[in-house]
Chains A and B, each alone.
Chain A
Amino acid sequence: MGWYMGIDIGSTYSKGVLLRDSEPVASSIRLSGIDHRTTADAIRKELLARVESPPQPIEVVATGTGAGNVPFANSQASDIVCTARGINRLFPQARTAMDIGAQSTRVIKLDGRGMVTDFVVSEKCAAGSGRFIEVIANVLRIGLEEFGPLSLQSRNPVAFSTGCAVFGESEAITRVAEGVPKEDIAAGVNLALAAKIASLAKRIGLELPCAICGGGALNQGLTAAVEKELGIKLLVPPEPRTVTALGAAIQAYSGAAA
């Protein structure tokens, strides 16, 4: 019997998954903060505290933007590879995985074994990532968890005139001042972001079924908007944020098995 850990240090949240052999037994999510090493260590301790008689030794794979800040990791793996692995474990039939992160959006094509066949990343523009949602949620003074449910109540989504999060923020402020309902502004942002995600997916050639993960997948308004934009149904994991950490743990498992 072996123990394997995946640690995914993202720009906003860090995630960890612990496997016993190939089965997930614990997961953890924390704000990344400015000290990734401390965060990584806290996640490791939290995962180990969840199981009786903490196992030693343990194989750890780190991934994400802060993968280099996990000193106890045995190796690092690309987040593209880990996301594909994680999605493949949850949805073996998926041929496309979308990951909507706080600072980037990634669309990955994968085969039946979870191997990456192609991918495209949008990380140059805040309006193409979950950051746009954060910026507008701040204008609307609502929590991120309220964003999706609120947007689904909209009957008349606002059309944003540019694809820029900075100008979008000014527009949202203007609309608020004009008395436009919050839900219409939230829905408008989801539509704008969904359009960017959809164009990224089309660029790479969307293959079905398609799964979605990352913090953005918690926003039901966004997933609904992506589904509508592409005319498809998305596979959404129960906890979309830990998919890449799960994939990293699977990498640790398969690396050790090889």
Chain B
Amino acid sequence: MTKGSPPNLPYFAGIDIGSTMTKAVVIDAAGNIISAVKGPTGAEHRHLANEVMAKALEAAGLRLEEVGWIVATGYGRFNVPFADEHITELSCHARGVYQLFPNARTVVDIGGQDAKCLKVREGKLVDFAMNDKCAAGTGRFLELTAQSLGIGLEDLAALSLRASKPVEVSNMCTIFAQQEVVLRLSQGERIEDIIAGLHRALAERVAALVRRLGIEPEVVLTGGVAKNAGMVQAMKEALGCSLLVPEEPLLTGALGAALLAMERTQRLLAQGKPLKTKARHLEKATFYTGS
């Protein structure tokens, strides 16, 4: 490869700034993943978007100038100063999932602070529904209720899969459910059964969102919550269908962003149009404080 002239740059990157995790993916001109990196977003980590990108470049053995186009996505996408373009996470998810599961029609993404259902066709978004107004029905529900039980997120799956009789969690509200699980524990319910009950409660809530749009196979589950095997099982039961889960369910948005960067570049080049690349460097991300 030669560097300096954009048409010869065969690498593309996507960065997805979610509420909880920041993800970056670097691909080559054939769409193969060269590197993928995740790091926490968190309030105090917001300025680390550039570090995640730097790590992804390092893992790929590339310098920033060797990347032809960078697309930023996710709720913090406007806070990535080194991005060439911002694209909504819906479009990026749709594209990323299509790469992994070309026959996907329904995508359920459960993140740390929202949940979305996407209807897709060949990588294009057809319809969607989302909840970002209420913590119940998002990863936050599990995070806080697990915290009330003194259990780490990474232990939820193993515990829930050992449940024999899931406890019915009657409170939808995360705050009321936090009290309820502590009460259940004091009443002598097994922690495995309580956790399985929480998984069911979250799955039911998300399934209601999915049913609004209609379940059409194949159905793909993404987002951090998809890393929890107990939740995958609960979602299968709540939706009454089988689910496909990417090996790295957190990365579909960043992968989609990188693929859209690649396709955009290739389209422009095919039309003989010049790529507009600005001078980029990995400076600290600036975050909106206004509005």
A and B assemble together: yes
Measured CB to CB, the residues of A under 8 A from B are: 34, 103, 124-127, 131, 135, 162-167, 173-174, 177-178
Give the distance in Å from the alpha carbon of A174 to the alpha carbon of B171 in the complex.
Answer: 27
Q: Which of B133, B144, B176 has the most CB of A within 10 A?
A: B176
Q: Which of A125, A131, A135 has the most CB of B within 10 A?
A: A125
Per-residue A-contact encoding for B112-140, CB less than 8 Å = 1, 0 else? 01000000000000000000111100001
Chain A: which residue is nearest B114 at the CB level? Answer: A167
Chain A: which residue is nearest B183 at the CB level? Answer: A34
B289 at the interface (CB under 8 A from A): yes
Contact B173 A165 (CB under 8 A): yes
B172 at the interface (CB under 8 A from A): yes
A250 to chain B, nearest CB (A): 30
**Are A166 and B175 CB-contacts (below 8 A) given A174-B43, A177-B43?**
yes
19 A-B pairs besides A165-B174, A166-B140 with CB distance below 8 A are: A103-B176, A124-B171, A124-B173, A125-B173, A126-B174, A127-B173, A131-B176, A135-B175, A162-B132, A162-B133, A163-B134, A164-B133, A164-B135, A164-B174, A167-B113, A167-B133, A167-B135, A173-B43, A174-B43
Category for how many chain B residues contact A: 10 to 19
B96 to chain A, nearest CB (A): 26
Chain B: which residue is nearest A131 at the CB level? Answer: B175
A229 to chain B, nearest CB (A): 20
Inside 8 A of A103's CB, which chain B residues have their CB?
176
Inside 8 A of B175's CB, which chain A residues have their CB?
126, 131, 135, 165-166
Inside 8 A of B289's CB, which chain A residues have their CB?
178
Measured CB to CB, the residues of B under 8 A from A are: 43, 113, 132-135, 140, 144, 171-176, 186, 289
- 20 of the cross-chain contacts (CB-CB < 8 Å) are A124-B172, A124-B173, A124-B176, A125-B134, A125-B172, A126-B173, A126-B176, A135-B175, A162-B133, A164-B133, A164-B135, A164-B174, A165-B175, A166-B140, A166-B144, A167-B113, A167-B133, A167-B135, A174-B43, A178-B289
Give the distance in Å from the alpha carbon of A45 to the alpha carbon of B43 in the complex.
Answer: 50
Inside 8 A of A125's CB, which chain B residues have their CB?
134, 172-173
Contact B135 A166 (CB under 8 A): yes
Contact B174 A166 (CB under 8 A): yes
Inside 8 A of A177's CB, which chain B residues have their CB?
43
Chain B: which residue is nearest A34 at the CB level? Answer: B186
Give the distance in Å from the alpha carbon of A183 to the alpha carbon of B101 in the complex.
Answer: 51
B201 to chain A, nearest CB (A): 13
Q: Contact partner of A164 among B43, B134, B171, CB < 8 A?
A: B134
Inside 8 A of A34's CB, which chain B residues have their CB?
186
Give the distance in Å from the alpha carbon of A162 to the alpha carbon of B113 in the complex.
Answer: 12
B8 to chain A, nearest CB (A): 44
Chain A: which residue is nearest B174 at the CB level? Answer: A166
Give the distance in Å from the alpha carbon of A174 to the alpha carbon of B140 in the complex.
Answer: 17
Inside 8 A of B176's CB, which chain A residues have their CB?
103, 124, 126, 131
Inside 8 A of B140's CB, which chain A residues have their CB?
166-167
Give the distance in Å from the alpha carbon of A127 to the alpha carbon of B43 in the complex.
Answer: 23
Give the distance in Å from the alpha carbon of A87 to the alpha carbon of B176 in the complex.
Answer: 28
Inside 8 A of B43's CB, which chain A residues have their CB?
173-174, 177
Chain B: which residue is nearest A168 at the CB level? Answer: B135
Give the distance in Å from the alpha carbon of A177 to the alpha carbon of B42 in the complex.
Answer: 14
Give the distance in Å from the alpha carbon of A123 to the alpha carbon of B186 in the complex.
Answer: 23
Chain A: which residue is nearest B140 at the CB level? Answer: A166
Give the distance in Å from the alpha carbon of A165 to the alpha carbon of B173 in the complex.
Answer: 9
Contact A163 B173 (CB under 8 A): no
B65 to chain A, nearest CB (A): 35
Chain B: which residue is nearest A162 at the CB level? Answer: B133
